[in-house]
Amino acid sequence: MKQVVISAVAAVTGLGNTLEQSWGRLLAGESAIASVRHFACDGYPTDRAACVPDLERPPGQSRLEPLLERLLAQLPAVPGDCRLLTASTKGPIDLLEDRLRGAVVDHAALLLETLPRQVAARCGLVDPGVNIGAACASATIALGRAGGLIAAGRCSAVLVVCADLVSEFVFSGFSALQGLSAEPCRPFDARRCGLSLGEGGAALLLLDAARARREGWPVLARLLGWGAANDANHITAPARDGCGLVGAVEQALARAGLAADAVAAISAHGTGTLYNDAMEMAAFERLFSERPVPFNSLKGALGHSLGAAGGIEAAVACRCLEQGVLPPTAGCEQPDPAARGMVGAFPQPFAGEVLLSSNSGFGGINGALLLGRGGER
């Protein structure tokens, strides 16, 4: 099997227009969760979400357009023979809102297949790409798919681009599910009571390690293993015992040829809902019962960016491995008893070469990535 490396990353979040801006503010414990300004929140339990500042909507276009422009402008010229995978749950959802309110909107512009085509055109790629829709694990599954393509020798380069927006459609949906927190969310906190939505995007270039060496690409991190599993429990609620997440992580460990004790830190899904966080803590206990492993969630700072969450978190994980530290879990001031000593609103240094990044979504889907420290070996 071919070795897979990450050679370029970019991110746009509510905390910054670049990964470096977001990283610095994450380490400082800042949060982007604030009042939403681009639609009215009257009648909803909260007006809070983590939106990208100054993301103005061009006339007749989606806010996704300027988000992609900011994101892709940060990338170096990627190989023209790259395969392309995008990850988004809703794509240009604001155009659908327009149409439902009576505006004339081109039907084709509403389709998720337009997202990879836009990215391919912008990056000069021959491959028109395909969008991965796996609920809130979309980007994690896309990165695992990219790793599988390269490891199997089916291609030597894959660009993964993920993006999702804070929209009234999604806001109203989570409100109807009673899933929104009135205040900024508190992942893994004993007082957690719901999630805060967020938006943003990330782009990651994955290469065959031999090609990266040959062409002089940097090795920011190594994709060692990946896994996906469905707990088949409920359309919105995870299995209480974390069996789906455990299965995904065990797949990733098997692909990497690693034991659980190789994992030095965890970038968790951590939405701040009662049942998601409890499920993750149960899964981590099953997987790492013999030792405490530090973990965090970025969603108290960046909100839950749906299909983009796993890509943003993987991009941040590259910095975590480089500097040997997990950013604070914003909002987690009184950790759940099951997580005490492993998570908190403070940076957590860790020693080791391997970080687990996991995401879970509606329909019982779970995805897991094992990332290794970059640099030459």
Taken in order 128, 90, 251, 12, the sign of the CA dihedral is positive
Selected catalytic residue, list 162, 304, 318, 332: 304
Contact 302, 53 (CB under 8 A): no
Selected catalytic residue, list 155, 162, 269, 320: 269
Q: How far apart are CA 77 and CA 124, in angstroms?
A: 9
Strands 157-164 and 348-349, how do they pair? unpaired
**SS3 call for 101:** coil
Q: How far apart are CA 116 and CA 88, in angstroms?
A: 10
End-to-end CA distance of the chain: 17
Q: What backbone torsions phi and psi does residue 260 show, to the nearest 5 degrees?
A: -60, -30
- The verdict on whether 304 is a catalytic residue reads yes
Q: Measuring CA to CA, how many Å separate 87 from each of 134, 161, 184, 214?
A: 8, 6, 25, 29
Contact 267, 358 (CB under 8 A): yes
Q: Measuring CA to CA, how many Å separate 92 from each of 30, 54, 89, 115, 341?
A: 28, 17, 10, 8, 41
Selected catalytic residue, list 51, 82, 123, 136: 136
Structure tokens at 281: 């803590």
Question: Which ranges of 93-137 does DSSP label H, i.e. alpha helix?
Answer: 93-100, 114-123
Structure tokens at 86: 């995008």
DSSP 148-176: HHHHTTS-SEEEEEEEE---HHHHHHHHH
**Known catalytic residues?**
136, 269, 304
